[in-house]
Amino acid sequence: MTMSNRASSSSARANALPRYREIYASLREKIVSGEWPAGHRLPSEHELARTFGCARMTISKALGTLADQRLVTRRRRAGTTVNMPRPQESVLEIHDIEAEIVAAGVSYAYESLARQIRRANGSDANTLGVASATPVLALTGLHLAGGRPHALEERLINLQAVPEARSERFHGISPGRWLLQRIPWTEAEHQIGALNADAAVARWLAIRPHTACLTIERNTWRDAQRITHVRLIYPCDQHRLVARFRYRPL
Amino acid sequence: MTMSNRASSSSARANALPRYREIYASLREKIVSGEWPAGHRLPSEHELARTFGCARMTISKALGTLADQRLVTRRRRAGTTVNMPRPQESVLEIHDIEAEIVAAGVSYAYESLARQIRRANGSDANTLGVASATPVLALTGLHLAGGRPHALEERLINLQAVPEARSERFHGISPGRWLLQRIPWTEAEHQIGALNADAAVARWLAIRPHTACLTIERNTWRDAQRITHVRLIYPCDQHRLVARFRYRPL
DNA sequence: AAGTGGTCTAGACCACAAA
DNA sequence: TTGTGGTCTAGACCACTTG
């Protein structure tokens, strides 16, 4: 009996959307058009299943998609309600600098400026979030695009988490890429800010002192363990971050 | 026959995770531990269903979660493979400024500095992405936190999309909040950059000229229609953006 | 107490791409 | 050609929460 239910809806049109996507689109339209305003309660899954003539699980998937997109909130017994003033949440894609530069059709190079292995001092411990005296690798380097300074990088690596880094010289390869290839990370946090370049930064980046720069700080974890902390400094005229809110499944 | 399958696994421990989450966690562990390196192919859904002693749909949900998190890629016939160098993608939460200030326990106010209704000139049309001569509302205002300047806002509103804005004076309420309460948006794009404050900006924000500022530009759509464009300028010492990569379901 | 969503099953057919 | 994931069904029990 259950056979060919799908066939009957899909064989008609070859490239049809899955049923749950059709249902999702249909419900979403009612929400974004304003027909169902914020706070409106949607019919229950059982009722929608009857309405659309499908199994409840299909409805559940459609409603789950809406919930993933924060268009609705679902609670047991309370039902599914429209979530109007939606959180301003964007997906920020922070690419590997090398990939970014190469994608722009420009040659890339990494130049190491300083390298030191030390036991974490108070500042290191605080920045990297490890105990004092933990062995760390401190790196400073320059990302070059087309031979010109693109970004200044200051990095700390937790040698307890990444002992292989102790013997790596990072000639030709940037520490970021090196880590990415070896160390799976599970969580990352970015902080974005602005600063006026001081004399040293300005010299390395070949910009005038006091020029506004965009800074990106990234902390990386593998589960509970801190892997690395990096601060990247970009001259304001050379870099912008783009974040786009996207629906999850589309 | 299908009854109480769940009961047998859940009645034992009251607060147990759902089965698919247990399976998800078990598979994820193999990936982040490195036991299954990048490129490794996972067992098929049928095989995992046998291994874990559950229905294939339960496996599908667990694998789907891994795929949502970009830990694996799933393709028909090719199977499910581990995705190691993961895209550096973060979820950036860009909050309503008022909510942000109030959450910090400080009083909030919006002060309107300029307001003009005009037909879009070339710059407007380009910025807002509408045809020339489209009626637009141009606003400039200041967000105040605890009575002190917090951010400068320059905004264009497409009056074709939001005709109600024509008669709104935005006294006491910021245009952002006003729009958020009325106009459901479906897509947003943010661009983040840095700039040196010019004389006018510095005056409004009560900072020294040339101080580095963080800028956020936001474009908002309702489906294909442009709603508004806004540029916010924050003094660098007053604002940081935080983006955190998060797994979707947790 | 009752109704809602959350999860699960044991099948099934289908679309797709790799062999 | 064949094995994989994608979707779907028609049920079921359970957890939660509101009335």
A203: enclosing H helix or E strand: helix A199-205
pLDDT of residue B32: 79
Asked if residue B87 has pLDDT above 90, the reply is: no
Better pLDDT: A96 or A178: A178
Mean pLDDT over residues B212-234, rounded? 90
Query: Would you state the pLDDT for residue A250?
Result: 37
Strands, DSSP E only, in chain A?
72-75, 79-82, 89-93, 108-119, 135-145, 148-158, 187-196, 212-222, 225-235, 241-244
pLDDT band at A85 (very low <50, low <70, confident <90, very high): low
Rg (CA), chain B: 25
Of A31, A96, A192, the CB nearest to B241: A192
pLDDT tier at A93, thresholds 50, 70, 90: low
Chain center to CA of B78 = 33
Rounded percentage of chain B residues whose pLDDT exceeds 90: 58
Residue B248 half-sphere exposure, CB side, CA atoms within 13 Å? 21
Structure-token match 């390869």, residue found = A173
Of B87, B222, B236, the CB nearest to A32: B222
Using alpha carbons, list the distances in angstroms from residue A68 to B62, B200, B226, B248: 16, 43, 24, 8
Å from B129 to nearest chain A CA?
A: 16
How high is the mean pLDDT of chain A?
Answer: 84
Per-residue model confidence (pLDDT) at position B160: 95
Task: Give the residue carrying structure tokens 């859940």.
Answer: B10
Residue A91 scores a pLDDT above 90: no
| pLDDT per position as a tens digit, B89-109 | 666 666 677 777 787 888 999
Q: A187: which chain B residues are within 8 Å (Cβ-Cβ)?
A: 244-246
Position A141: which residue type? Answer: G
Which two three-digit tokens encode residue B172?
């006491």
Q: What are phi and psi of B75, to 5 degrees?
A: -135, 145
Q: Tell me whether residues B89 and A89 touch, CB distance under 8 A.
A: no
pLDDT value of position A228: 95
CB atoms within 10 A of CB A220: 25
Q: Gap from B22 CA to D15 C1', in Å? A: 18
Residues of chain B contacting residue A96, judged by C-beta atoms under 8 Å apart: 88
- At residue A165, φ and ψ (nearest 5 deg) are -70, -20
pTM above 0.85, yes or no: no
Count of CB atoms within 10 A of residue A11's CB?
10
Distance, in Å, from the CA atom of A9 to the CA atom of A228, rounded to the nearest integer, reads: 52
Neighbours of A181 (CB within 10 A): 11
Residue A131 near residue A125 (C-beta atoms within 8 A): yes
**Cα gap A8→A191, rounded to integer Å:** 52
Q: How confident is the model at residue A13 (pLDDT cuts 50, 70, 90)?
A: very low
Q: Is the pLDDT of residue B223 over 60?
A: yes
Q: What DSSP character marks residue A41?
A: B
Mutate to test the interface with B, among A245, A246, A248 (most CBs of B within 10 A): A245
B234, pLDDT greater than 70: yes
Locate the chain A residue with the closest alpha carbon to B64.
Answer: A249
CB contacts, 8 Å: B244 with chain A: 187-190
Residue to mutate among B33, B88, B95, with most A CBs inside 10 A, is B88
Q: CA B136 from chain center: how many Å?
A: 26
The mean pLDDT value for A172-195 works out to 83
Integer angstrom CA distances of residue B232 from A212, B47, B141: 16, 53, 10
**Least confident residue range of A110-114, A238-242, B65-69:** A238-242
Q: Are A207 and A52 in contact (CB under 8 A)?
A: no
Please state, in angstroms and rounded to a whole number, the distance separating the CA atoms of residues B188 and B181: 16
Site of tokens 């390196």: B37
By the 8 A CB rule, do A222 and A186 touch? yes
User: Quick check: B244 pLDDT over 70?
Assistant: no
d(CA B42, CA B55): 17
Domains and CATH numbers, chain A: 3-82 (1.10.10.10), 89-242 (3.40.1410.10)
- Confidence at residue A100, expressed as pLDDT on a 0 to 100 scale: 76
Confidence class of residue B11 from pLDDT cuts 50, 70 and 90?
very low
pLDDT of B175 over the 90 cut: yes
Of A85, A211, A242, the CB nearest to B181: A85
Give me the pLDDT at residue A86, please.
58
CA angle B161, B180, A48 (to 5 degrees): 90
Q: Is the pLDDT confidence value at B127 over 90?
A: yes
For chain A, the distance separating the N- and C-terminal CA atoms, rounded to the nearest angstrom, is: 32
Per DSSP, A94 falls in state: -
- Amino acid, single-letter form, for residue A101: I
pLDDT score for A53: 94
User: Which nucleotides of strand C are protein-proximal, with an atom < 7 A from a CB?
Assistant: 2-18
Residues B190-211 pLDDT 10s: 888 899 999 999 999 999 999 9
Tell me the mean pLDDT in the region B214-224: 86
The whole-angstrom distance between B133's CA and the closest CA on chain A is: 26
| Cα nearest neighbour of B190 on chain A | A243
Q: Which helix (H) or strand (E) holds A126?
A: helix A122-128
What's the CA gap between B27 and B22, in Å, rounded?
A: 9
Average pLDDT, integer, range B38-61? 95
The pLDDT tens digits of the residues spanning A189-202 come to 888 889 999 999 99
Please report residues of A whose CB lies closer than 8 A to that of B31.
184
Pick A105 or A197 by higher pLDDT.
Answer: A197
Closest protein CA to C1' of nucleotide C14, residue: A7
Residue B10 tokens, joined: 């859940």
Amino acid at A109: A
